Amino acid sequence: MSFLKNFRTNIFVLLIVLSLSVFLTACYNNNTGDVIVSEDIRFKLPAFPETGSHAVVVFSEMHYQPSFGSQEIPRILPVADSVPITGAEIDKSSMEEYSSWGVPQRVIDDWNSDPDNVVSAQKLFATNCQVCHGHNLDGNGPIVQFDHGSIAPRSLLDTAATSATDGELFGYISFGGRSGLASAVQGNPTPSWMPQFRYLLTEDERWKLVMYLRGVQQNPAE
């Protein structure tokens, strides 16, 4: 009996030593879980990435990672018409209400308190608006060379844009341009190809875009 017990113990120790030898000599990829001992000995273990959605990623295929695409919101959207605990954004019911709406004082105070707000608003514009309206707001964005004349982005420096009130600009950004806003206040679907940024940007981000547009309109690039 003692012989069998010692034999089992020796086998167990040998297996541990062999396992340690494999791990010490093998190449382990902590992102994929691939283990390469030699050209002929390859196998897979759970992945232990430095970053990821879980501490141990057992399934390391691409669709299990937490990354998200450009301009895609990295979370599941709430149920339609649900109200957050901080309150819901108030929509105006007519063009006249949007015309008389001004930039909220909290946005103005925040804008004036930090010079970096101009830079962050410029990045917002570059990410969401520049492809159509252009770097200089002249309506000559990169998309123009690919649309074969079917799309004519509006210049944000023309009279219609510069004479619009802050509230109107906010409405245009939120609902997809002038036609989008006009349809929204009537409860109709938007006919505009411009995105409705109320679904992509926060209320304050859209107001900061208004502040940025006003600054460029007052000092357009030569």
Instruction: Give tens-digit pLDDT for 140-161.
Output: 888 888 876 677 788 999 999 9
Integer Cα distance of 207 and 191 in angstroms: 23
Q: Are residues 36 and 136 located together in one domain of the fold?
A: no
Domain-embedded: residue 15: yes
Query: Residue 75: its pLDDT value, please?
Result: 65
* Percent share of the chain, pLDDT over 70: 67
Radius of gyration of the chain, Cα coordinates, nearest whole angstrom: 29
The domain in which residue 7 lies consists of: 2-64
Average pLDDT over residues 119-129: 93
pLDDT digits (tens, 9 = 90+) for 63-114: 555 566 666 666 666 777 777 666 667 777 788 888 888 899 999 999 999 9
- Is the predicted pLDDT of residue 177 greater than 60, yes or no? yes
Name the residue among 197, 164, 195 with its Cα closest to residue 98: 164
**Tokens encoding 102:** 């001004």
Same domain membership, residue 201 and residue 116? yes
Please check whether residues 59 and 103 belong to one and the same domain.
no
Span 187-216, pLDDT tens digits: 888 888 888 998 889 999 999 999 999 999
| More reliable by pLDDT, 61 or 102 | 102
Determine phi and psi for 107, rounding to 5 degrees: -70, -40
Both 54 and 101 in one domain: the answer is no
What pLDDT does residue 2 have?
63
- pLDDT range class, residue 118, cuts 50, 70, 90: very high
* Same domain? 158 vs 60: no
Q: What is the pLDDT of residue 100?
A: 87
Same domain, yes or no, for 49 and 119?
no
Q: What CATH number does residue 181 fall under?
A: 1.10.760
Q: How far apart are the first and last CA of the chain?
A: 96
CA–CA gap between residue 213 and residue 134 (Å, rounded):
12
Average pLDDT over residues 177-196: 88
Domain count, the chain: 2
DSSP states of 155-174? PTTSHHHHSS-HHHHHHHHH
**Is pLDDT at 52 greater than 60 in this prediction?**
no
Output b/e per residue, 163-182; b: 16+ Cβ within 10 A.
ebebbbbbbbbbbbbbebbb
